[in-house]
Structure 1
Amino acid sequence: MGLNLQGRTALVTGATGELGRVMARTLAACGADVAVHYNTNEAKAEALAAEIRAAGRRAVSVQADITKLDSILAMRDKISAELGHVDIVVANAVIQYTWTSVLEQPEEDYRSQFESCVLQSVHLAKAFVPAMIERGAGRMIGINTECSMQHFESQSAYVAGKRGMDGVYRVLAKEVGPHQITVNQVAPGWTISERDRTNGTEKSEGYDKNVPLKRRGTDQDIANTVAFLASDLAGFITGAYIPVCGGNVMPAI
């Protein structure tokens, strides 16, 4: 049994990032057409879209400021004109910043995390869910983090943004469930990406020893979970927060 996303269109925000580009490639490999979102890195986005097109799927690179509703609406219109309606939305983009203690973290970092985690989720829902409701189907997938359950030192702004995102997704799941739209979150651990492979930094004894599987996961592990949630195999899963971290965090009942 395979994951068949043929005939569907996916949007991945932050698709030029370390995890985002593997998600885009994996969704395309499962048969989906893909809108490759970027904020500033147009060249990398277009290269990824060209790669997906060369593999036989339709793809387009699209720019948007994910913290602004009007920018996301303009992106939606471009995708609609070139690929048609969006069936799968993956909210992966997040603003990067320097982590430090609560007492030292600048106020603007809390604001940036709210805007890129909470408001991005709200804006994407406003832009894409109404058409999903009309079709009676759709997938909203947010990329959260294991940090939301850890609360380690220096994580406050990131955790605040991602826990706010979690609240939006859980409420949205209840609101749009009657329309057969699923809303779920994937929560990566500290994940091995292309950067680690290039730099030879895949191993981290301090982290690995606390993971039940005794290793870090990979970008492909995250992308596989996203593809599963996007597929018909996950049609009765909604409102879930799914850690993909080798058991490093375990939600309790």
Structure 2
Amino acid sequence: MSRSVLVTGGNRGIGLAIARAFADAGDSVAYTYRSGEPPAELAELGCLAVKCDITDPEQVEQAYKEIEDRHGPVEVLVANAGVTRDQLLMRMSEEDFSTVLETNLTGTFRVVKRANRGMLRARKGRIVLISSVVGLMGSAGQANYAASKAGLVGFARSIARELGSRNITCNVVAPGFVDTDMTRVLSDEQRQGIVKQVPLGRYARPEEIAASVRFLASDEAAYITGAVIPVDGGLGMGH
């Protein structure tokens, strides 16, 4: 049965792969994007593109109204939208820190809270938050990003306890290094240095992250909630 699925930040990279995976499975997929043009491949799959900056509560509310008018209440939410502003702590500005927290953590709070309204009414729902191995291991120059991604774990586990009795699950996927536009800008030397840290010896494909997300949103994962699923090639084991 087709479900109403929302993927935030679904216009590129991991989010694009997740939106495509749900659309390929026959779900009614909407995705948010903040800038640029919606990808043609998602339009061809019938996905609904909704321009929305998740740091703006009014834009979040308007996005949900548009999605609900077209697809009905959101039954599966994948909170993927995020930003980075990497800088060593001594050079990191207040704005660098607050902007990343406002998008990655507070923005996720906004979209989850709004989806929760329909899920409570339906007494069912699936919420998947996209964190990062960096949120578990830490990373020099990414104190803001790591803090925001670690915060998602505590947030998800609190939501899992709060909403479990309503048949709503909330889980976290923590990707490692993924082969996307963001990592392709690195030099060959930097990419090789990263791969050396990964036991499986390669970057993840976005489709591998998407597969884990789809599983957590499936009936087969109905008894999994409050979990953190690493999809990192073994990079973060032990964390």
**Same fold, TM-score > 0.5, yes or no:** yes
Question: 2:38 aligns to what?
Answer: 44
> Which runs of 5 or more structure 2 residues have no equivalent in the other structure?
none
| 1:136 partner letter | R
Question: What secondary structure does 1:44 align onto?
Answer: coil
RMSD (Å), alpha carbons: 2.2
Q: 2:202 and 2:215 mapped to 1: Cα distance? A: 22
CA displacement 1:111-164 (0-9 Å, x = unmatched): 112111221121112211121011111011110000012222101010111112
Q: Are 2:15 and 1:20 aligned?
A: yes
Question: 1:67 aligns to what?
Answer: 55
Q: TM-score, normalised by structure 1?
A: 0.88
CA drift of 1:197 comes to 7.5
Question: 1:171 aligns to what?
Answer: 158
Q: TM-score, normalised by structure 2?
A: 0.92
| 1:244 partner letter | V
CA drift of 1:232 comes to 0.8
Question: What secondary structure does 1:249 align onto?
Answer: coil
> Which runs of 5 or more structure 1 residues have no equivalent in the other structure?
1-5, 54-58
Q: 1:104 and 1:152 mapped to 2: Cα distance? A: 15
Q: 1:83 and 1:76 mapped to 2: Cα distance? A: 10
8 Å Cα contact 1:110/1:161 also seen in 2: no
Q: Are 2:104 and 1:104 aligned?
A: no
Question: What secondary structure does 2:127 align onto?
Answer: strand
Question: 1:34 aligns to what?
Answer: 29
1:134-153 alignment runs, 5 A limit: 134-153=121-140
CA displacement 1:181-203 (0-9 Å, x = unmatched): 010111111101367689996x9
Q: 2:117 and 2:34 mapped to 1: Cα distance? A: 24
Q: 1:48 and 1:71 mapped to 2: Cα distance? A: 25
* Structure 1 pair 199–29 and aligned structure 2 pair: CA distance change class (3 A): farther
Number of aligned residues: 239
Question: What secondary structure does 1:28 align onto?
Answer: helix
1:1-253 alignment runs, 5 A limit: 6-41=1-36, 43-45=37-39, 47-53=40-46, 59-97=47-85, 99-193=86-180, 204-251=191-238
* Structure 1 pair 129–48 and aligned structure 2 pair: CA distance change class (3 A): farther
CA displacement 1:184-235 (0-9 Å, x = unmatched): 111111101367689996x933222222212221111111111111111111
Q: 1:12 and 1:159 mapped to 2: Cα distance? A: 21
CA drift of 1:245 comes to 0.5
Question: What secondary structure does 2:170 align onto?
Answer: strand
